[in-house]
């Protein structure tokens, strides 16, 4: 495999395969890589990776997942980390469109599911507007991976009839703009992506809008990977626990009564493994 760590090379040179004659546009396959464990890839995702000759992949896609890519394929890293973007989102979209218009088929590989806080919807719309054909391969989203691997059922007939996904990422005005009243409703599970940087604000606002300080809550770090950790506590003490245990992204925040089931489920899961 040919790893191209600096995607700017492609924006500064003619698109590979470009000629003086119009090329038949290539096809883009948007693939969800799942939460990290390569065994959680779908069969369709593995098929797409094995058939790819060009892959644009994100920061959260692990090397074990990339092993499914053919040896003669080109891999371009376009990852985005907090405060460090290899390419802005607009440039990633432009790169995909240029490569496809040059006649190249490519796979756009994202962690989790690209249509759940992965900006896959933005990329799909841009491809459609540019007249580029594309397919979408769904992946197991991080919340599903975290719940299953950490022993937290996201729904339960006695504890949570509603499941809500939200993002805690800062907006342009440096605020977390969420519907706090909706998130603080009882008898539901709330999973917040990209919220570690705003964890104190999130916990404070949920309590201000009606959730008790004693509401069970958890942080799931590196879900499904060997370094996975699950830190459980309450809304009130979760920010302190995050500091104490030095929890770092990628991590999810899970809030709801179902978190209280985690110790019992983990005992059963560990006994099965042993």
Return the active site residues. Answer: 58, 80
Count of CA atoms in the C-beta half-sphere (13 A) of 213: 5
Residue 239: which H helix or E strand, with range?
A: helix 238-244
Strands 229-234 and 251-255: unpaired
Give the contacts of 30 (CB within 8 A, at least 6 positions apart): 108, 110, 114, 120, 123, 124, 134, 135, 136, 137
Whether the CB-CB separation of 107 and 120 falls below 8 Å is answered with no
- Cis before 265 (ω within 30): no
């Amino acid at each position: 495999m040919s790893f191209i760590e600096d995607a700017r090379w492609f924006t500064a040179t003619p698109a590979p395969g470009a000629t003086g004659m119009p090329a038949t546009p290539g096809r883009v396959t948007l693939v969800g890589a799942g939460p990290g464990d390569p065994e959680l890839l779908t069969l369709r995702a593995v098929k797409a990776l094995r058939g790819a000759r060009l892959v644009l992949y994100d920061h959260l896609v692990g090397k074990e997942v990339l092993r499914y890519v053919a040896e003669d394929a080109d891999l371009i890293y376009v990852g985005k980390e907090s405060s460090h973007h290899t390419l802005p989102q607009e440039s990633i979209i432009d790169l995909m469109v240029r490569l496809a218009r040059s006649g190249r088929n490519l796979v756009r590989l994202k962690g989790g599911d690209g249509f759940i806080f992965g900006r896959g919807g933005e990329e799909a719309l841009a491809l459609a507007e540019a007249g580029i054909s594309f397919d979408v391969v769904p992946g197991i989203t991080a919340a599903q991976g975290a719940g299953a691997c950490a022993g937290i059922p996201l729904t339960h007939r006695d504890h949570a009839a509603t499941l809500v996904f939200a993002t805690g990422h800062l907006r342009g005005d440096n605020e977390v703009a969420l519907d706090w009243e909706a998130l603080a409703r009882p008898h539901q599970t709330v999973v917040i992506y990209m919220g570690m940087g705003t964890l104190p604000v999130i916990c404070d606002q949920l309590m201000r809008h009606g959730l008790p300080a004693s509401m069970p809550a958890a942080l799931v770090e590196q879900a499904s990977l060997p370094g996975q950790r699950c830190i459980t506590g309450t809304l009130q003490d979760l920010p302190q626990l995050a500091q104490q245990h030095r929890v770092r992204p990628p991590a999810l925040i899970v809030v709801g009564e179902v978190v209280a089931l985690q110790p019992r489920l983990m005992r059963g899961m560990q006994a099965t493994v042993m």
